[in-house]
């Protein structure tokens, strides 16, 4: 069977034909070159209006990289025509297999982007002997297509989250859709200021804002301010995931202070490797870890007391009645304020001052769980790692949309992977 036959099966073009296939050394590698020709008497399309126009001249041939076959590089070779459009003047014609000046075919870009969902960008580049930049451009092409075709009409529940990037020196604001079965990243923007979230709501549009029923967020003031102003019909909920995150931050702070203190007093430092023991839910510990935790608990350290305060607070989420939940929260805060552990007292004060929004959780119960927010947050962190090597925020945003956006993909005639 000829390669031509395969190509005509998986990637047939109406106005072009595959002429012949041959070996050629390209960039030091034996490659498979497929020559393409325009159909006889056909005219090229203007790249601005896609009207067929008379040929002006023919350009030297260009190679477009195609999906590799059996580890062999494959190229399309074509000499594009320049066409004279009455409206737009002289331009290089539009070809169906590649975009503008791009030298990778659309099929190859889709192919790389598919793999970049499963593996890190660097691994994809290594496996297919291409550059990190090529993988990046491929993902970007697929994401750009998806973003220009995305649909925001069925959004009733959203979550606003922040993500520390570039070693925590900067932040991204992420907006997720949380409706059941439609969980995805809707939007992400640099920073976590009032301006940042306003940008999302402006893009989201007034009408859609009015339809929002629930907005999940953390206690970050600029977010709360914008949500109150823009999502006027929605219940703003401070969700479980974000609140428990504050507890973990506080426990970690207590632990760090205590490690320092123990070091200075040269006592046996039981806390050095204890970080994860204290941050994990008790139910998730292994037997060995439980044993170590029990040992830790015997010593009356502030870290342990902070840990116990958090474990105790978990009961809050099991209440059915908001009134009882409120009473519990008040009792807990009173006890914590007496604890003399400054970071925990800070948490208690924070809970008190945001009590109303926290209790909204019980109003929405049944309709909203913290699972999705936590899940999406973890996925976002994973996406960041997969795109490792990104140099700009823009690049990071593309990676996040690619992994979490559930975007529509550009149409293809054949699925390679």
Q: Which residues lie near Zn ion (CB under 5 A)?
A: 46, 48-49, 85, 87-88
Which residue's CB is nearer to Zn ion, number 46 or number 254?
Answer: 46
Buried b (16+ CB within 10 A) or exposed e, 194-219: eebbbbbbeebeeebbeebbbbbbbb
**CA pseudo-torsion sign 198, 199, 200, 201:** positive
Q: Which is nearer to Zn ion, 49 or 127 (CB)?
A: 49
Query: How many CA within 13 A on the CB side of residue 52?
Result: 5
Residue with Cβ nearer Zn ion (43 or 369) = 43
Strands 89-92 and 81-85: antiparallel
CB of 45 to Zn ion, least distance (A): 8
DSSP state letters, 358-395:
HHHHHHSBTTB-SHHHHHHHHHHHHHHHHTTT--SHHH
The secondary structure of 250-315 as a DSSP string is HHHHHHHHHHHHHHHHT---TTTT-HHHHHS-GGG--HHHHHHHHHHHHS--HHHHHHHHHHHHGG
| Residue given tokens 């923007």 in the structure block | 189
Question: C-beta of 128: minimal distance to Zn ion in Å?
Answer: 36
Tell me how far apart the 2 most distant CA atoms of the chain are, in Å. Answer: 90
Q: Smallest distance, Å, CB 135 to Zn ion?
A: 33
We find the least distance from the C-beta atom of residue 145 to Zn ion, in angstroms, to be 22
Q: Tokens 């169906």 map to which residue?
A: 96
Nearer to Zn ion, 87 or 266 (CB): 87
Tell me which residue has tokens 């006890």: 335
> Going by C-beta distance under 8 Å and a sequence separation of 6 or more, which residues neighbour residue 307?
251, 278
**Closer by beta carbon to Zn ion, 67 or else 83:** 83
Q: Minimal distance in Å, beta carbon 81 to Zn ion?
A: 14
State the Cα–Cα distance between residues 74 and 356, nearest whole angstrom: 62
Considering beta carbons, is residue 48 or 126 the nearer one to Zn ion?
A: 48
CB of 31 to Zn ion, least distance (A): 34
As a whole number of angstroms, the distance between CA 326 and CA 45 comes to: 68
- From the CB of 85, what's the least distance to Zn ion, in Å? 3
CB of 227 to Zn ion, least distance (A): 46
Closer Cβ to Zn ion, 83 or 399, answer by number: 83
Residues 235, 364 contacting (CB under 8 angstroms):
yes
Closer residue to Zn ion (CB): 49 or 308 = 49
Residue placing its CB nearer to Zn ion in the complex, 88 or 211: 88
Give least dist CB 98 to Zn ion, A: 19
CB 378 within 8 A of CB 370: no
């Amino acid at each position: 069977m000829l390669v031509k036959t395969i190509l005509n099966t998986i990637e047939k073009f109406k106005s072009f034909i595959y002429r012949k296939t041959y070996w050629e050394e390209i960039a030091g590698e034996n490659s498979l070159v497929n020559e393409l020709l325009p159909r006889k008497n056909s005219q090229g399309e203007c790249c601005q209006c896609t009207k067929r126009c008379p040929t002006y001249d023919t350009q030297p041939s260009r190679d477009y990289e195609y999906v590799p076959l059996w580890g062999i590089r494959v190229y399309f070779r074509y000499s594009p025509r320049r066409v004279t459009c009455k409206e737009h003047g002289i331009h290089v014609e539009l070809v169906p297999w590649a975009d503008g000046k791009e030298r990778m075919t659309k099929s190859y870009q889709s192919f790389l982007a598919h793999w970049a969902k499963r593996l890190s960008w660097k691994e994809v580049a290594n496996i297919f002997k291409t550059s990190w930049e090529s993988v990046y451009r491929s993902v970007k092409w697929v994401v750009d297509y998806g973003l220009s075709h995305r649909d925001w009409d069925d959004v009733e529940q959203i979550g606003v989250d922040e993500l520390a990037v570039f070693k925590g020196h900067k932040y991204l604001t992420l907006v997720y859709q949380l409706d059941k079965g439609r969980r995805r990243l809707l939007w992400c923007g640099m920073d976590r200021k009032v301006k940042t979230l306003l940008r999302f709501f402006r893009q989201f549009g007034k009408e859609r804002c009015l339809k929002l029923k629930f907005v999940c967020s953390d206690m970050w003031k600029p977010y709360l301010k914008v949500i109150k102003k823009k999502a006027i019909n929605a219940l703003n909920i401070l969700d479980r995931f974000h609140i428990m995150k504050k507890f973990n931050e506080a426990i970690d702070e207590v632990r760090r202070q205590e490690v320092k203190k123990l070091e200075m007093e040269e006592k046996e430092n039981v806390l050095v490797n204890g970080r994860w023991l204290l941050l994990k839910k008790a139910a998730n510990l292994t037997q060995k870890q439980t044993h170590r935790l029990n040992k830790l608990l015997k010593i009356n350290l502030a870290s342990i007391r902070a840990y116990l305060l958090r474990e105790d607070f978990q009961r809050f989420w099991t209440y059915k009645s908001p009134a009882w939940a409120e009473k519990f929260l008040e009792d807990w805060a009173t006890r914590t304020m007496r604890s003399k552990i400054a970071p925990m007292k800070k948490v208690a004060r924070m809970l008190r001052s945001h009590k109303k929004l926290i209790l909204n959780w019980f109003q929405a119960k049944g309709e909203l769980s913290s699972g999705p927010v936590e899940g999406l947050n973890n996925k976002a962190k994973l996406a960041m790692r997969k795109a490792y090597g990104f140099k700009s925020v823009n690049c990071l945003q593309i990676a996040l949309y690619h992994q979490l956006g559930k975007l529509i993909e550009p149409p293809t005639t054949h699925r390679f992977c």
